[in-house]
Structure formats: structure tokens, C-alpha cells
Amino acid sequence: MSKSSSIKEAIGRFEKENNVVANEAEKVDLTAQIPPIEKMDASLGVLKNCEQLSLSTNNIEKLGGLNSLPKLKVLSLGRNQIKKLEALDGIAETLQELWISYNLLEKLAGVEKLVKLRVLWMSNNKVRDWAELDRLAANACLEELLLLGNPFNPAPGTPEYRMEVLKRLPGLKKLDGVPVEPEERESAKAA
Amino acid sequence: DDAEKDLAAAKPALDAALSALNSITPKDIVALKALKNPPDIVKRIFDCVLLLRYLPVQKVAWQEVKGSQVLVGNYDEAVKMMGDTAFLSSLINFPKEAITDETVELLRPYFRAPDFNFDSAKKASGNVAGLCNWAEAMCTYHDVAKVVEPKIVA
């Protein structure tokens, strides 16, 4: 057995298991391949109709191959080995949700390109600097953010941490699964 | 009315999850903690609990158990979690409204294993097998609530 699955092999399995043609499917599930996917590549380009692409529970180290997905709204990459938000230009104008928990992100440079981003779930990454959250102020549509399990100080889950986030991102409607109350937003503004 | 009907349909799953939790006693947890190397299914069940609670799991790795490929569990982290005396009550009061589609997607590969069910877990590990039902019920609840809640708001 080879030690990783290619995107092409994973798409082949998806087509067979679901009896669909990849270039027609709106939702494409390439999660938890055995052996895991390690590389994203241009074979993703066949997914012309794809609105939701799931690649979670693999061992992907680098983002790539996202230049020909004209309809992509939801990109799910949780539980991989991704260190950087890069090569997102192809989906910058369409992507609304990025699910990228359980990866190795330390920095968020690149996220500002996602102009329609509404949901960012990124628990259990390595982000510790508050300045990284300042970048998210550029994502004007951002409503929902999940940061639990990142090494911020004060720690996620504490009221002090919530204030620090809301000070920077007053437009958030939900933080770490808990709705943001108007009073909370006000006191963050005053702080 | 449709929304209420759908919620009613989800209720048995939730009730089952709670009774599964109630069947686990602090004694069961102590007994489990004493095992240096518990059965593999136990490690995977605890991985699901870790994911639902946004606690660390390890890099994806698969191994063959009884002829099926299954994910390798992060038992060190599970032992740490069990060290908290409030562990069981934190599951009973679990904020299930905060579960995300992403978490459900991360749990599905565990549910796919043929031995991931109460009966086979019970054989291997006694009462803590209830956590297996609990994890599946949390995902079922999320999937139902996602469809139902917009209808209630409307």
C-alpha cells in the first residue's frame, strides 16, 4: 500500500461510493482517506460545481490546487498539518466558511483576502498573538469565530479573553459557540 | 408544527444519551484510569469526547484492528481529561447547542468503524461504553437541531 492517497484517487473513491460524477457534485467529501491525503493539487480543478469541499482528517501540509473552483463556499480542512493560509486567490471572492480546526496555524496572514468570509472555525491551532486577530478586522462579513484550544493569554474560555477578542472584532455574532450579547459588545468597546 | 415534530423525533436519541451517561459512575472512571493500556475501542471513544470538547487529538494515523482500519486514539489526553473530578458532570451539562458541522465531520470517521457501537464497546470496557452512545447522540442532536431551529425562529 502506498503511504498517501492522491487527490485523484480520493475523488475516484468519492465518485464510486456515491455514484456521482465529480464535476457535477455540489458537495464533495474527501475526508479521512486511508492512507491520508498529504498533498492538495490541481486535480481539484474538476470540481466545477462544488460548493462544499471536505478534506478533513488527512495529513495535508500545504494549501494548493484551489484555482479552479468557481463556486466554492465552504472549505473544510480540519485535522490536517497546515501551517499557513496561502494560495487562496482562486477562492477569495466566493469562500464564506473556512473550517480549519486541529491544524498548525501560528499566523493568519492571507485570511484578509477572503472578502466574503462569514464563518471561521479554527480551534486547536497555534495562534497566540493578539495581533493575528487584528487581521480579521479586514473580513467585514465575519460573524462567527471559534478559537478554543489556541494558546492565547488570557486563555480562551475566560471573560478577559472574550473582551480582548470583541475589542478587535466588534461585528462578531458568535464567539466559541456562544452568541455575543449587545451588552458584552458595549463593554468591550468601552474597555 | 413541523419543527416540533422533528424535535420530538430527536428526543429519544437525547434521552438515550443521558441514560448512557447516567450508567457511568465515578468508580468506572477510576477503574479505567488504572488501566495502562485500555482496549483500543476505549481510546477511540475518548477521542470523540476530546473532539466534542475541543481538546487535543493527535496527528491522523490509522491502524488495523480486527481487520478494519481505525484511527489511533490520543489516550494521554483522555487520561488528563478523566483526572478532572467534574468530568462526568461536564458531559451531563454539555453545551450541545455549540456543536459545529465541523466537529460532526471530524467524528464521522470514528463512527464508521464496524466495532464502534455500544455492544462491542461494552464487551471491551464495561460501563464507559455509554460514552459511545453519548457521542453519537450529540451528533444526531446537532444534525436535527440544524434543520429544526430555523423553522422555530421563523
Cβ <8 Å between A57 and B60: yes
At B48, the pLDDT band (50, 70, 90 cuts) reads: very high
Residue A74 within a domain = yes
Helix/strand/coil for B114: coil
At A121, the pLDDT band (50, 70, 90 cuts) reads: very high
Long-range contacts of A86-94 (CB under 8 A, 24+ apart): A86/A62, A86/A110, A87/A62, A87/A63, A88/A63, A88/A113, A88/A114, A89/A113, A90/A66, A91/A66, A94/A69, A94/A70
CB distance from A125 to chain B under 8 Å? Answer: no
A102-116 pLDDT, tens digit each: 999 999 999 999 999
Cβ <8 Å between B108 and A31: yes
CB distance from A177 to chain B under 8 Å? Answer: yes
Nearest to A172 by CA among A120, A123, A124, A131: A120
Residue A2 within a domain = no
pLDDT of res. B71 = 97
Measured CA to CA in angstroms, residue A6 lies from A13, A34, B55, B138 at distances of 11, 10, 29, 32
Q: What does the alpha-carbon distance between residue B70 and residue A165 come to, in Å, rounded to a whole number?
A: 38
Chain B residues touching residue A58 (CB < 8 angstroms): 60
B119-148 pLDDT, tens digit each: 999 998 888 888 988 899 889 888 888 877
Q: What does the alpha-carbon distance between residue B76 and residue B85 come to, in Å, rounded to a whole number?
A: 17
Bridge partner residues of A54 (DSSP): A29, A76
At B33, the pLDDT band (50, 70, 90 cuts) reads: confident
Q: Are A122 and A146 in contact (CB under 8 A)?
A: yes
Residue A39 within a domain = yes
Domain at A169, CATH number: 3.80.10.10
Residue A138 within a domain = yes
* Domain total of chain A: 1
Q: Quote ipTM for the complex.
A: 0.96
pLDDT of res. B11 = 79
At A1, the pLDDT band (50, 70, 90 cuts) reads: low
Q: Is the pLDDT of residue A2 over 70?
A: no
pLDDT of res. A97 = 98
Estimate the crossing angle of helix B40-52 against helix B118-125, to 10 degrees: 120
Cis status of the peptide bond prior to A35, with omega within 30 of 0 = yes
Query: Where is A178: in which H helix or E strand?
Result: strand A178-179
**Which residue type does A132 have?**
E
**% of chain A with per-residue pLDDT over 90:** 96
In the predicted model, what is the mean pLDDT of chain B?
88
At A171, the pLDDT band (50, 70, 90 cuts) reads: very high
Residue A122 within a domain = yes
Query: Where is B62: in which H helix or E strand?
Result: strand B62-65
Q: What does the alpha-carbon distance between residue B61 and residue A106 come to, in Å, rounded to a whole number?
A: 23
- Residue ranges making up the domain that contains A44: 7-190
pLDDT of res. A145 = 98
A45-60 pLDDT, tens digit each: 999 999 999 999 999 9
Longest dimension (CA), chain A: 59
Residue A14 within a domain = yes
Q: Are A95 and A120 in contact (CB under 8 A)?
A: no
Of the candidates B62, B95, B106, the beta carbon closest to that of A177 is on B95
Higher pLDDT, A31 or B8: A31
Q: Is the pLDDT of residue A63 over 90?
A: yes
At A164, the pLDDT band (50, 70, 90 cuts) reads: very high
